[in-house]
């Protein structure tokens, strides 16, 4: 995992000659590089603090039991997905056969293939690194739609690389699972288009693909069947996540009430993105791909202690047969980020509607978080961070 200072270095290089940072979506106001760097540093402090909290109880018996159950559950899910796709007799892709993945051995999140045998412990294959737990808040973006359907399968008529996404949420104050949390996710399709919004070039208010919500179970787990996201101008490949506490499931298949306590974006490793982008229909997208180190928002999600990338494994011997992706996320259940979770649209019994109270001015800014900073968000004297190069693995 690259430290946050690496992202700052890369961003300074990428944007130092133009004076402003690309907006998260078309229409967002650009932000100056100094402001972006200050906010990244603040987010890094939050991740480091949360990591220290979780470290205090990570070795407790109930957490170890939870990890073992999670590993067994993920192994069973991969087997089930392979049966469902008639891949039982298909060998799982060995990472050493991926000649187009440069320096693949350096990438730790790919759990596919190499070196694994029938005697390899399930925890080794399907565990989650303690460094992958804490997720700082991130910018919400302008395409959040409130009131989506509670459902597992989000694909509808869309094409792309199938992605089964499992997320497990934990309460950072107790190190126990976070049940009854409503998890809302959305992403663009393989060619960079979002459903649910009326903005030019997008899918329209009454489209719902690649959007949906699920309530966490007693182990704090949700599962979605979706597609690996595509890309659009100025943004690296990402999946949006919003969590609600205190929500109830509604009779119409949606949800009501609650407050939003967390906003984030799930990012993916560059070699995986590069490989996906070579498959159809991703390869029909003529928009230049923005890599992780050139995205103004990846830095919010990483620090020296926090790894922003989920783990994954191939389900077969080619990408088109699907991916199983999993992440472990720590939540402050008392958090309140409603102010930064403005929604551009909402869905009710009559369909999708624009939100007349949508606040475009807030969508590009993550919730403010205070660490070892002064009132301007600058590092306190003596807390300077070393700036390093961020190495990008390219296919």
Beta carbons within 8 Å of 43's beta carbon, 6+ residues apart: 4, 136, 137, 138, 299, 300, 301, 303, 366, 369
Q: Give just the sign of the alpha carbon dihedral 299, 135, 345, 351.
A: positive
Comparing 14 with 80, the larger pLDDT belongs to: 80
Comparing 382 with 158, the larger pLDDT belongs to: 158
Give CA–CA dist 81/205, Å, rounded. 32
Establish how many alpha carbons lie within 13 A of residue 51's alpha carbon, considering only the half-sphere containing its beta carbon: 19
- For 94-126, the pLDDT digits (tens) are 433 333 223 333 444 555 554 444 344 445 544
Comparing 363 with 300, the larger pLDDT belongs to: 363
Q: In which band, very low, low, confident or very high, does the pLDDT at 239 lie, cut at 50, 70 and 90? A: very high
Structural domain for 79, as ranges: 4-189+196-362
Give CA–CA dist 99/61, Å, rounded. 42
- Beta strands 238-245 and 181-186, pairing class: antiparallel
Contact 81/164 with Cβ under 8 angstroms? yes
Cβ-in-10-Å burial (0-12, 13-18, 19+) of 349 comes to exposed
pLDDT at 65 over 50: yes
pLDDT at 173: 81
Q: Does a structural domain hold residue 378?
A: no
pLDDT at 395 over 90: no
CA dihedral of 171, 172, 173, 175, whole degrees rounded to 10: 70
Tell me the percentage of the chain whose pLDDT exceeds 90.
42
Establish how many alpha carbons lie within 13 A of residue 95's alpha carbon, considering only the half-sphere containing its beta carbon: 21
Q: Does a structural domain hold residue 126?
A: yes
Q: Which CATH number goes with the domain that contains 49?
A: 2.60.130.10
Q: In which band, very low, low, confident or very high, does the pLDDT at 361 lie, cut at 50, 70 and 90? A: confident
Q: Does a structural domain hold residue 265?
A: yes
pLDDT at 81 over 50: yes
What integer is the mean pLDDT of 69-94? 85
Give CA–CA dist 199/5, Å, rounded. 35
Q: Does a structural domain hold residue 170?
A: yes
Helices (H), the chain: 4-15, 33-55, 61-84, 122-126, 270-277
- For 168-186, the pLDDT digits (tens) are 998 888 888 999 999 999 9
Q: Does a structural domain hold residue 122?
A: yes
Q: Give just the sign of the alpha carbon dihedral 268, 328, 105, 13.
A: positive
Q: Does a structural domain hold residue 139?
A: yes
Helices (H), 112-251: 122-126
Comparing 44 with 285, the larger pLDDT belongs to: 285
pLDDT at 158: 98
Helices 33-55, 4-15: axis angle to 10 degrees equals 170
pLDDT at 299: 57
Comparing 93 with 66, the larger pLDDT belongs to: 66
Q: Give just the sign of the alpha carbon dihedral 108, 177, 118, 121.
A: positive
218-232, 242-256, 283-297: the lowest-pLDDT one: 283-297
pLDDT at 256: 93
Taking Cα atoms as reference points, which of 262, 268, 247 lies closest to residue 330?
262
Contact 392/106 with Cβ under 8 angstroms? no
Average of per-residue pLDDT values in the chain? 74
pLDDT at 138: 75
Q: Does a structural domain hold residue 394?
A: no
Give CA–CA dist 323/327, Å, rounded. 13
Give CA–CA dist 185/178, Å, rounded. 17
Q: In which band, very low, low, confident or very high, does the pLDDT at 143 lie, cut at 50, 70 and 90? A: very high
- For 193-232, the pLDDT digits (tens) are 999 999 999 999 999 999 999 999 999 999 999 999 999 9
Q: In which band, very low, low, confident or very high, does the pLDDT at 301 lie, cut at 50, 70 and 90? A: low
pLDDT at 362: 85
Q: Does a structural domain hold residue 87?
A: yes
Give CA–CA dist 272/326, Å, rounded. 14
Q: How many domains does the chain have?
A: 1
Cβ-in-10-Å burial (0-12, 13-18, 19+) of 108 comes to middle
pLDDT at 302: 53
114-128, 135-149, 241-255: the lowest-pLDDT one: 114-128
Q: In which band, very low, low, confident or very high, does the pLDDT at 80 lie, cut at 50, 70 and 90? A: very high
State which of 54-68, 283-297, 339-353 shows the largest mean pLDDT: 339-353
Contact 281/190 with Cβ under 8 angstroms? yes
3-state DSSP helix/strand/coil % of the chain, to nearest 5 = 25, 20, 55
């Amino acid at each position: 995992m690259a430290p946050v200072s690496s992202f700052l270095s890369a961003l300074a290089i990428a944007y130092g000659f133009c004076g402003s940072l690309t907006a998260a979506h078309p229409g967002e106001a650009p932000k100056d590089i100094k402001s972006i760097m200050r906010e990244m540093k603040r987010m890094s402090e939050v991740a480091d603090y949360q990591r220290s909290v979780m470290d205090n109880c990570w070795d407790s018996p109930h957490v170890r039991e939870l990890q073992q159950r999670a590993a067994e559950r993920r192994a069973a899910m991969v087997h089930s997905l392979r049966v469902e796709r008639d891949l039982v007799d298909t060998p799982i892709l060995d990472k050493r056969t991926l000649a187009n993945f440069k320096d693949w051995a350096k990438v730790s999140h790919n759990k596919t293939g190499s070196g694994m045998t029938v005697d390899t412990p399930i925890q080794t294959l399907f565990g989650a690194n303690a460094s992958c737990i804490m997720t700082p808040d991130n910018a919400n973006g302008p395409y959040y739609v409130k009131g989506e359907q509670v459902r597992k399968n989000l694909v509808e008529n869309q094409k792309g690389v199938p992605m089964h996404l499992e997320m497990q949420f934990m309460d950072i104050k107790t190190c126990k699972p976070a049940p009854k949390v409503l998890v809302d996710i959305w992403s663009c399709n393989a060619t960079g288009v979002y459903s649910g919004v009326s903005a030019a070039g997008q899918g329209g208010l009454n489209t719902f693909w690649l959007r949906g919500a699920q309530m966490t179970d007693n182990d704090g787990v949700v599962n979605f069947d979706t597609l690996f996201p595509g890309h659009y101008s100025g943004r690296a490949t990402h999946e949006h996540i919003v969590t609600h506490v205190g929500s109830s499931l509604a009779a119409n298949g949606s949800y009501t009430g609650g407050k939003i306590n967390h906003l984030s974006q799930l990012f993916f490793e560059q070699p995986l993105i590069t490989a996906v982008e070579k498959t159809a229909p991703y390869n029909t997208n003529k928009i230049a791909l923005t890599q992780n180190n050139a995205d103004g928002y990846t830095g919010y999600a990483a620090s020296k202690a926090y790894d922003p990338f989920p783990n994954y494994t191939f389900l077969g011997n080619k990408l088109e047969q699907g991916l199983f992706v999993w992440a472990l996320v720590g939540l402050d259940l008392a958090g309140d980020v409603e102010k930064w979770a403005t929604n551009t649209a909402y869905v009710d019994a009559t369909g999708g509607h624009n939100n007349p109270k949508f606040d475009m001015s807030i969508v590009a800014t993550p919730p403010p978080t205070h660490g070892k900073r002064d009132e301007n968000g600058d590092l306190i004297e003596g807390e300077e961070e070393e700036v390093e190069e961020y190495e990008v693995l390219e296919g």
